[in-house]
Structure 1
Amino acid sequence: MSRPAKPWFPAALSLMMVGWGANQYVSLLVHYREEHGFSEVLVTSLLGIYVVGLVPALLLGGRYSDRTGRKRLAILAVALSMAASFALMGSAFGPVPLVIGRLLAGTATGLAMAAATSWVKELSQLPWDASSVPGSGARRASLLTSAGFWLGPVTGGMLVAWAPVPDIVPYVVHILLCVPLLFVLVRLPETRKRQPRPVPSVARPVASGGAPAPRSGAGRKRFRAVIAPAAPWVFAAATMGFVVIPEMVPAMREERLAYTTVAVAITMGCGVLIQPLARRVDTTSSARSLLTGVAVVLLGMGTVLAAILLNSPVLGLAAAALLGCGNGLLMVGGLLELQRASGPDELGTLTGFFYTLAYAGFLAPTAVAFIAQWVSNTWIMAGTIVLCAISLGVVALNSRKHLPHALERVESRQVRRARPETTR
């Protein structure tokens, strides 16, 4: 059997299907509360508990994929996502199957984000793709990931509302869609051969085209100064949009199932639609894409506060749209910054770090539900706005520091100065 003409696309579909599996649970939050009697804290905790499986998978999976390859981990991620859906069918037996399913979903998501994102990036360049331009890999990975995060809860919400056996059918649909994808993934090329143990060397590695690969130290400095402060708002924005808003707007508490489905569709739909613009906003001379993303999230948080104070469902949906746009801008901007700063031997590792921080934002609804037992929604949102403003200030302060292309210009000048001396 011949390989697909565009191998990056099935690899990106693995991100979409794992994202689908991770987020489809969102559409059943109200259902589990109303039909099974699970408490608000339990249901939102199950939303965030998969971070327990996700973080180790991100950190270990990224490093492992740098050493041994991307393909096997991406296939394993899809298989674990299917196993998670199977476990989540057991809600009739209590919360334990849901805990197991969410942990498996987190592990699958961590492996996919660390390995498959790097796989898509590498399949979007020579020799596997001669037509792509710089940044194509980041844009493709981000777009398909966001599409999965959108399709999962929206499809699940429609099936919960209109299909029979809502505890089962959404998860069966996800499993059936994953089965043919596994057969396609097996046929894709591996982009990263097994690496020997690193040996200290004075010489810098050389990337394709003869250009020096980014320094590990410089890439990590850029990561800490610019990418890390913005990363938690990637998924904090999304989850605030479709989990916290339906709970905080009092006028919609009687129709939360329908309102939640609409909020999910708007949040994640805007996160997908904004991504072509995110690529245009990006520049190599500053962190403009990340600054724009955090600023839009800050505006969205302010709109959430206005929706609470005015008890306005319409403002709540406007806030969901802004938070979705912030999610898409930060996803693309973070990956573009990351892939410029990372050397080939640390791409998976730093991708794992990025998504670890991004998914920390997934705990936002759990934190809000816990704090809301003692603090009003108004003050919770005010505190969130302050934290977002601090992140925006830190990114702005470091926006032009540790730029990879600036370092390469300095080094090339040093090389040109040294050449006459060596030829005399």
Structure 2
Amino acid sequence: MKRLIILSASILLFTKLSFPQTENAFIKIDSLLMGENYKTAITELNLVIANDSANIKAYLKLGQAYQENYQNNKAISVLQKASQKDSSLVIQLLLAKSYYNLGFNDKAEKIYSTVYRQDSTNKSVAINLARIYQDKHKYKPAMEIYNTLLKDDSADTFINKQFAFCLMKLDSLELSLKFYQRSLDLNPEDVSSAVQMATICSKLGRQDSAIQFVDYGLSYFPDDPGFNKIKAEILFKKDDYKQAITYYEKVIQLGDSTYPVYQNLGYSYFFYAGQDSNFKVSADYLKDKNAAYANAISAFEKSYRLGNENYYLCYYAAQAADKINELNKAIFFYNEVIRLTVPTFIDKIYKMLGLNYQVKGRYEESIEAYKKSLFYEPNNFEAMWTIGMLYSEMLKDKDKAIKFYENYLKDMGDKKNDMRFLVEARLKELRK
């Protein structure tokens, strides 16, 4: 009995002593978290949990500390343990945040959507759920959430901007412009809204308005590669190739030397060179035009070397080379156009087309298709043989069959091979 009394007294004394110690530890931990000293806070919190594994408050703060320290895997592990002890809303939302941070959008969406259904007035939950919808390109439900939020707070810059973005993605361009304008009015320094408005105006064909919005952005960030590139693209659409060249070259100087930029710079030089009004009639007239074509070729070549095997680019590069008598480059790029536009298996395509015409009894069309197959693959014995057979057997015209084989041998020249032997044998048979 005496031992029991002593034990009970000890437990009571420990509880009285440990409670203020834990509270003092939390005061220290809160100070560490406020000072963003997450590493030390994590250590202190793990000590609290080691002494009191049922302390939900410690688990919550530890999960938050791991999140702020970009250790979301550990945050999830801690918060999952906490949720087994207490499935409170706070724990679920912290879990959702870590899931989102790690890209587990489905898991985060499940939590946020459940909470949102229970309480659609929770602005933080609504915005996080809408962001997940946007990440998944589900713009309609995201737009509906932002629309609901705007009814409570129409002066929120962020919500107006995100609502406008969703409308733009849903092709409601006029309405999107309205809400981007509202966002810009609420925060005139948010130049990204102005740039989005420029993009929309450009899509709507309002290039002058688009230029004005881009210039607004450039007035804040004159050396931003993105803003300069958008302006270059709009100027190109306006057929102002001289100014487009200036901005594309600036974009390259600012560090964006990707193949689309070089490609568009090449197009700008090419079309600029083709506008006679850009050049004064003088002794240097032809020289200036040729210099523009040479610059076009240079830009096209850089784009091509960066991996842009685009047959349009190759065609215009060949055309530019033609203009200034750079025949080797013209030949190279014309060959590239052919390589990029004509499938390597085109002979098989024509052969199968010929077979289908043959089965349908359309023999004249079948012969033409087989001839094209033979043009791309002269050693195609099946096509050669079938053409002669169609003339002699189906069209009952041995003379045409003989003439076809004679021309085939003529085209072969002095080559001695199996094809020549087979054709000669077939001719001998037809001439009997």
- Where on the TM-score scale, by shorter chain, does this alignment land: which range? under 0.3
Q: Which has the larger radius of gyration?
A: 2
Q: TM-score, normalised by structure 1?
A: 0.22
Report which structure shows greater RCO (CA 8 Å, sep ≥6): 1
